[in-house]
């Protein structure tokens, strides 16, 4: 696996590489990321991964400084997964001057996770567009675990007519159902044992809707109460339309249940499609 930190070196390395498939990450890689790399292989000739902890998408009181940085272990995992090229820029490589031009997503950036993380999706969209311009892939893979992020990137790619196919990768879960996430490492032993409750509750909502329950707000409130009783602090549990993340007009349309809740100091997000 070749590794480059400079934009010029990466561009030179990617000339005449056939169809390039790109998987951007912030590192601290787990089996969920590796499954995205494996999916990427099916969509092109050269798999390019990136590792960059993007300051622009973290709020002032969020975990940018303590976000786990495990570069050497990440390189070993990517090489073992058959990734061809790793782009691992420093902040000076990617933001050699203060970033003053941004991608401003529309209203979707202010709902659900965006309501609780102001500016987050603006930071994500800006760095992803910049990475797309650097790597110039024909396809890119993003995990469905970050469902709203995937939608922001799909919409940006379509509206800006970027010639890139966006592929959504399925969420990888631990045996007890907890969605794999770099932030799971922050959980204490007791919190880790409690954490699968979130996925269980999402499954209960899905089962209730499939069984004909149409009052989705009641289902959301029941799940929030169950989380609160178990010591969680919930930002949202929300049943939404898959198409646009709006409130459902028809419970028989494709839906998704999304949740963000805090166990101790760790904020977990998850979702499940219906
Ligand atoms: O999902 C992530 O890891 C990040 O949001 C991404 C897409 C790499 C942008 O920094």
Tens digit of each residue's pLDDT, the chain (274 residues): 999 999 999 999 999 889 999 999 999 999 999 999 999 999 999 999 999 999 999 999 999 999 999 999 999 999 999 999 999 999 999 999 999 999 999 999 999 999 999 999 999 999 999 999 999 999 999 999 999 999 999 999 999 999 999 999 999 999 999 999 999 999 999 999 999 999 999 999 999 999 999 999 999 999 999 999 999 999 999 999 999 999 999 989 999 999 999 999 999 999 999 9
Specify whether 33 is catalytic.
Answer: yes
Between the CA of 180 and the centroid of ligand 1 the distance, in Å, is 15
Sheet of strand 255-263, all strands in order from the earlier edge strand to the far edge: 233-241, 255-263, 266-273
Kindly state if the Cβ of 24 falls inside 6 Å of ligand 1.
Answer: yes
In this structure, what are the phi and psi dihedrals at residue 191, rounded to the nearest 5 degrees?
A: -65, -40
Dihedral of alpha carbons 150, 110, 64, 126, sign: positive
Q: Is 187 in the pocket of ligand 1 (CB under 6 A)?
A: no
Nearest CA to ligand 1 atom 5: 124
Of ligand 1's listed atoms, the one at least distance from the Cα of 26 is 3
> What number of other Cβ atoms are within 10 A of residue 251's Cβ?
16
* Residue pair 174/180 in contact by the 8 Å Cβ criterion: yes
Q: Considering only CA atoms, which residue is closest to atom 1 of ligand 1?
A: 25
CA atoms within 13 Å, Cβ hemisphere of 57: 20
pTM: predicted TM-score of the whole model, two decimal places: 0.96
């Amino acid at each position: 696996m070749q590794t480059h930190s400079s934009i010029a070196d990466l561009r030179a390395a990617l000339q005449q590489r056939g169809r390039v498939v790109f998987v951007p990450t912030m590192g601290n890689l787990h089996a969920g990321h590796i499954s995205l790399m494996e999916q990427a292989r099916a969509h092109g000739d050269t798999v390019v991964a990136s590792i960059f902890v993007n300051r622009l998408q973290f709020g002032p009181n969020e975990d940018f400084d303590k976000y786990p940085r495990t570069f050497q272990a990440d390189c070993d995992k990517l090489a073992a997964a058959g990734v061809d090229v790793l782009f691992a820029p420093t902040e000076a490589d990617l933001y050699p001057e203060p970033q003053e031009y941004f991608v401003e997503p529309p209203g979707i950036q202010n709902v659900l996770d965006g309501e609780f993380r102001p500016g987050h999706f603006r930071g994500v969209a800006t760095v992803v567009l910049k990475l797309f311009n650097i790597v110039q892939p024909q396809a890119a893979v993003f995990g469905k675990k970050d469902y709203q992020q995937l939608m922001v990137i799909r919409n940006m790619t379509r509206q800006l007519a970027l010639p890139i196919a966006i592929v959504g990768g399925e969420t990888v879960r631990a045996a007890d159902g907890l969605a794999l996430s770099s932030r799971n490492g922050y959980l204490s032993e007791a919190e880790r044992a409690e954490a699968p409750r979130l996925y269980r509750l999402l499954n209960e909502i899905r089962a209730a809707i499939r069984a004909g329950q149409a009052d989705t707000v009641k289902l959301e409130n029941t799940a929030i109460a169950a989380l609160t009783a178990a010591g969680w602090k919930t930002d949202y549990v929300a049943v939404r339309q898959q198409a646009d993340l709006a409130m459902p007009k028809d419970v028989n349309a494709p839906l998704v249940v999304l949740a963000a809740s805090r166990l101790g100091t760790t904020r977990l997000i998850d979702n499940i499609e219906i």
